[in-house]
Amino acid sequence: MEDLKERHQRAISGVIPLETPLEFERGEGSYLIDRSGRRYLDLMTGIAVNVLGYGHPAILEALQNQAQKYLHLYNGLGYQDIVVEFAEAIQGITEPGYPVYFGNSGTEAVEAALKLARATTGRSGIIAFRGAFHGRTFGSLSLTASNAKYRSAYEPLVPMVYHVDYPAPTRLGLSPDEALAHTQQQLMTLLADEIDPSQVAVIVVEPVQGEGGYIIPPAGFLPWLSELCRKHGILLAVDEVQSGMGRTGRWFAYQHADIHPDMIILGKALGGGLPISAMAARADLMARWTPGTHGTTFGGNPAAAATGLAALRVMHEEHLVARAGALGTMALETLRPLKDLPGIADVRGLGLMVAIEFEAERGESLVTAVMEEGLRRNMILHPAGLRHEVIRLMPPLNIDQAVFETALGELVDIVRGVMGGKR
Ligand SMILES: Cc1ncc(COP(=O)(O)O)c(C=O)c1O
C-alpha cells in the first residue's frame, strides 16, 4: 500500500496545512487512536466540535435512528419533527422565542447574520473587532481580523466593514479597566468620525475571542456594547461558534453578562460532531426577512439535528455545563503557577476555554515546541493567538476528571521544560 502521506499530498489540496504527521484510525471517548494503535488524549476536539468526545452511544443511536428514516431533506420541502425539535431545544438555551435559521458551518451562520442585519435595518455598516475570527467566506472574512494572511490574497472584501480593538488586556498591554476604556474610546471615535451610527446595521462580537487567543473581555464590555447598540438601533450579534454549547460554564458565553443579543451565531459543537450551524434572532427581525431571499441546500440537515439534539440531552442530563465551569476552575488552579515563569505572558480561562499565552517574541516557536512534546507524550494540543503565541485547551466536556488532571500536570511539566526550566 502506498504511503498515506504521499497519497494525501497528491489527492488533497495543500491549503490546509497539517499540524501533525499522525494517521488516524478511530476515536474512543476523549482519545484518538492512530493506525499503529497508539492512543492520544485529544485536547482540541476537532477545534471545539466533539463536545462529548468520540463514539458517545447516545449520539450514535440518534444517528442510526435518523439514518433509517432519511439522511437528508431540504428544509424548504416540508415539516420535519426532528429539525423543529432541535430548534426548540436551541430556543430553550439561547433566548426564548428567537426563531432559528440553520446552516452547515460557522461561517454560514455569520453570513446569515450579516444578511439579516442588512435586510432588516436597511443599513450597510458592520463593525467587528481586531483579533476576531468569524470565518473564511467573503462576508465573514471581512470581519475576521486575527491575521492578515487570511485576508490579503482575497481583497477587496465586503465594503463598509470597520474594526476597532477588542478589549484584550494582555494584547494591548493595559489593565482590564484601561482596555475597556480604550475600546470604548475607539468605538465612539469611529461613530463620530468615520460612520454615523444611523448607518451601522450590526456589531458582531465574540463574547470570548477564540482563534484570537481565548481572550476574556472585562466584565463591563458586553453590557456597555449592548446598551450602545440599543441606543442607536444597531443590532448586536454574538458569535458563539467557539465559546458556545456549554464550554464556558454557561450555555453561551454572553450569558455571563446580563445581556440579550439580537442575534446568536452557533456552530462547531452544535451538532455533537456532525456539521450544522445556526443563527437565532429576534422574532420581529426574522418576521421581516423576506422568504426566498436567503437559503441553503444542506442547512438543518436532519441527521445533524438528531445528533445535536442527542448531545444537548446528554449535556442537560449529566449537568455538563456546570461541570465545564468547575473543571475550568480546577485547570486554572493547576496552570496558574506557570504565570510566574519568565516568558509566560498570561494563563487564563473561562470554563473549558483555557489558554497559556507565551510572550510574543518567542511565542510561536515555544508553542510549536510544546505541541511537539505534547505529541511525544500522547497529547494533542492546538495553538491560538494572532501569532500562534497561545496554547488553547478545549477538551470534551465529559472528559474524565482524573485524566484531565494528569494531562494538566504533564502540560505544566512540558511548558517548564520548553522554557528551559526544571522538568
Ligand atoms: C468564533 C468563530 N466564528 C466562526 C468560525 C467559522 O466557523 P467554520 O470554520 O465552521 O466556518 C469559527 C471557526 O473557528 C470561530 O471560531
pLDDT digits (tens, 9 = 90+) for 380-408: 999 999 999 999 999 999 999 999 999 99
Q: How far is the CA of 418 from the centre of ligand 1 (A)?
A: 30
**pLDDT, position 420:** 82
108-162 pLDDT, tens digit per residue, is 999 999 999 999 999 999 999 999 999 999 999 999 999 999 999 999 999 999 9
241-265 pLDDT, tens digit per residue, is 999 999 999 999 999 999 999 999 9
**pLDDT, position 421:** 52
Which sequence spans correspond to the domains of the chain? 4-55+319-418, 57-317
Phi-psi region of 44 (alpha: psi -120 to 50; beta: other; left: phi over 0): alpha
Q: Is the pLDDT of residue 279 over 90?
A: yes
pLDDT-derived band at 100 (thresholds 50, 70, 90) equals very high
Q: How far is the CA of 241 from the centre of ligand 1 (A)?
A: 6
132-145 pLDDT, tens digit per residue, is 999 999 999 999 99
Q: How many residues does the chain have?
A: 423
3-state secondary structure of 258: coil
Average the pLDDT over 277-290 and give the result. Answer: 98
Task: Answer yes or no: is the C-beta of 134 below 6 A from any ligand 1 atom.
Answer: yes
pLDDT-derived band at 1 (thresholds 50, 70, 90) equals low
Average the pLDDT over 12-17 and give the result. Answer: 97
313-340 pLDDT, tens digit per residue, is 999 999 999 999 999 999 999 999 999 9
**pLDDT, position 2:** 77
Answer yes or no: are the C-beta atoms of 391 and 367 closer than 8 Å: yes
**What is the Cα–Cα distance from 258 to 252, expressed in whole angstroms?**
12
pLDDT above 70 covers a percentage of the chain that reads 99
Task: Answer yes or no: is the C-beta of 104 below 6 A from any ligand 1 atom.
Answer: no
Task: Answer yes or no: is the C-beta of 240 below 6 A from any ligand 1 atom.
Answer: no
Task: Answer yes or no: is the C-beta of 209 below 6 A from any ligand 1 atom.
Answer: no
Per CATH, which fold does 57-317 belong to?
Aspartate Aminotransferase; domain 2 (3.40.640)
**pLDDT, position 67:** 98
Per CATH, which fold does 4-55+319-418 belong to?
Aspartate Aminotransferase, domain 1 (3.90.1150)
**pLDDT, position 347:** 98
Q: How far is the CA of 393 from the centre of ligand 1 (A)?
A: 16
Q: How far is the CA of 268 from the centre of ligand 1 (A)?
A: 7
**pLDDT, position 423:** 45
**pLDDT, position 90:** 98
Average the pLDDT over 203-227 and give the result. Answer: 98
Largest CA distance in the chain: 65
What cell numbers appear for 422 in the block?
Answer: 526544571
The closest of 210, 396, 402 to 311, measured between CA atoms, is 396
Task: Answer yes or no: is the C-beta of 107 below 6 A from any ligand 1 atom.
Answer: yes
The closest of 138, 139, 127 to 237, measured between CA atoms, is 127
Q: How far is the CA of 337 from the centre of ligand 1 (A)?
A: 31
Q: How far is the CA of 133 from the centre of ligand 1 (A)?
A: 7
DSSP class per residue in 308-361: HHHHHHHHHHTTHHHHHHHHHHHHHHHHGGGGGSTTEEEEEEETTEEEEEE-HH
Mean pLDDT of the chain: 97
**pLDDT, position 308:** 98
Q: Is the pLDDT of residue 422 over 50?
A: no
Q: How far is the CA of 49 from the centre of ligand 1 (A)?
A: 11
pTM score: 0.98
Q: Which of 44, 49, 105, 107 to mutate to test the pocket of ligand 1 (most atoms within 8 A of CB)?
A: 107
Q: Which of 134, 138, 204 to mutate to test the pocket of ligand 1 (most atoms within 8 A of CB)?
A: 134
Task: Answer yes or no: is the C-beta of 105 below 6 A from any ligand 1 atom.
Answer: yes
Which residue is closest in CA terms to ligand 1's atom 8?
106
pLDDT above 90 covers a percentage of the chain that reads 98
Task: Answer yes or no: is the C-beta of 210 below 6 A from any ligand 1 atom.
Answer: yes
